[in-house]
Amino acid sequence: MELKEILHTQVKDVYRLKELLRLKKTLRFNEQGKFRILFLSDLHGGYGQSAQLAEAIEAMVEAAKPDLVMLNGDTAGCGPIHVETAEQMREMLAIDVEPMEKRGIPWAHTFGNHDNNYGVSKEEQEGIYESFPLCLSKAGEEQLPGVANYCLPVLAHDSDKIAFNVWAMDSHDNVNLLAQRLGLPEGMKLKLDRMHGSSGYDTVRFEQIMWYYNTSKLLEFYNDAKIPGLMLMHIALPEHEVVAENRVACGYVGEQYEDVAFTCLNSGLFSACLERGDVKMILAGHDHYNDYIGAYCGISLGYVGSLTYDGYQRDDLRGARIVDVDESGTMQTELIRLRSIMGEKADKKV
């Protein structure tokens, strides 16, 4: 590589680092070296959403007292409850994120497969998300597929050294759109009859994986050490199914009442995380009746639970996941059932 190319690459890396470290509010471990993240998924809100949803979010945030809240996709839609305009989107978010905004708790999001089904693009939605004072989400690099691929660094309690990373990825939509993107002939099936799980969905794509891999290396170089972290996306990976099929070996904990809805094409994201050795937990949403977690090859794979009242859900499963991170990078997690906080008030009114 010529000197000019080397210098250009270095300038680009410095710019990328500045963008990665630029947050509206700095995330930092407390003096005890602890950091708590609350994960909420599949709110399926929108115009005319159930008033119980706001009450549920309020109860969860109050009970968990997190340092960061992550919304893991399908925040809007589907069905009769959805958003069709930017104003409806803003009104919905104002209600659903009020528990964080009024407490001064930073929050961020990923996109799910239903978020842009009714005419408001993810690009337009992203601007609305980022307009909220405590939203730390980022649109991500323009050349990447999808919207809101980003990394949130959490700093040590007593320095500006990065102690932990929260990675967010756009897992896109469905298998038909994936086939179109790949330029496959019309009628050629990606989803075949003899495939495990419910595999009619898209996944994180190659360019996104390379972005994670290279950004991880860049942050390690900046930090002078590998940085432990977790990764969040809406649609599960095939390796989530591995945990469900090998419960004893993987230390399975939780419930599964529906097929794992992963993609029929394995993107290789799990292998990339394994090779980098920094991401130690990968969490998904999407499957409302699944909230289990287990470990495969040293990486925990699980679900964050569903909180919806306007999508499909069992009253006894409605909940959210808490992850307690130690400054050393170790994590402890538990799934909190809404019933344990609100009692019968947590159940859907009929």
The answer, yes or no, to whether residue 176 has pLDDT greater than 50, is yes
The answer, yes or no, to whether residue 8 has pLDDT greater than 90, is no
Q: Mind listing the pLDDT tens digit for each residue in 219-274?
A: 999 898 999 999 999 999 999 999 999 999 999 999 999 999 988 888 999 999 99
The predicted structure's pLDDT at residue 10:
61
- What is the distance between the alpha carbons of residues 279 and 204, in angstroms, rounded to a whole number? 15
Looking at the chain, the whole-number percentage of residues with pLDDT higher than 70 is 95
| Contacts of 34 by beta carbon, 8 Å cutoff, 6+ apart | 324, 325, 326, 327
Q: Could you tell me which of 182, 181, 173, 180 has the C-alpha nearest to residue 201?
A: 173
The whole-chain average pLDDT of the chain stands at 91
DSSP state of 174: B
Spatial contact of 83 and 89, defined as CB atoms under 8 Å apart = yes
Q: How many CB atoms lie within 10 A of CB 154?
A: 23
Between 14-28, 36-50, 321-335, the lowest mean confidence (pLDDT) is in 14-28
The answer, yes or no, to whether residue 4 has pLDDT greater than 50, is no
The predicted structure's pLDDT at residue 350:
64
The side-by-side arrangement of strands in the sheet containing 68-72 is 107-110, 68-72, 34-40, 319-326, 331-337
The answer, yes or no, to whether residue 98 has pLDDT greater than 50, is yes
List strand residue ranges (DSSP E) for 88-139, in order.
107-110
Spatial contact of 281 and 297, defined as CB atoms under 8 Å apart = no
Q: Could you tell me which of 51, 111, 146 has the C-alpha nearest to residue 285?
A: 111
Find the Cα–Cα–Cα–Cα dihedral 43, 47, 50, 55, rounded to 10°: 70
CA 151 vs. chain centroid, Å, equals 11
| Domains with residue ranges and CATH for the chain | 3-346 (3.60.21.10)
The answer, yes or no, to whether residue 79 has pLDDT greater than 80, is no
Q: Could you tell me which of 70, 85, 146, 143 has the C-alpha nearest to residue 113?
A: 146
The side-by-side arrangement of strands in the sheet containing 293-296 is 27-28, 150-155, 162-168, 229-232, 279-284, 299-303, 293-296
The answer, yes or no, to whether residue 6 has pLDDT greater than 60, is no
Q: Mind listing the pLDDT tens digit for each residue in 113-172?
A: 989 878 899 999 999 999 999 999 999 998 999 999 999 999 999 999 999 999 999 999
Strand partners, 282: 231, 301
| Contacts of 47 by beta carbon, 8 Å cutoff, 6+ apart | 81, 82, 83, 84, 88, 91, 92
Between 6-15, 122-131, 287-296, the lowest mean confidence (pLDDT) is in 6-15
Between 71-80, 141-150, 246-255, 302-311, the lowest mean confidence (pLDDT) is in 71-80
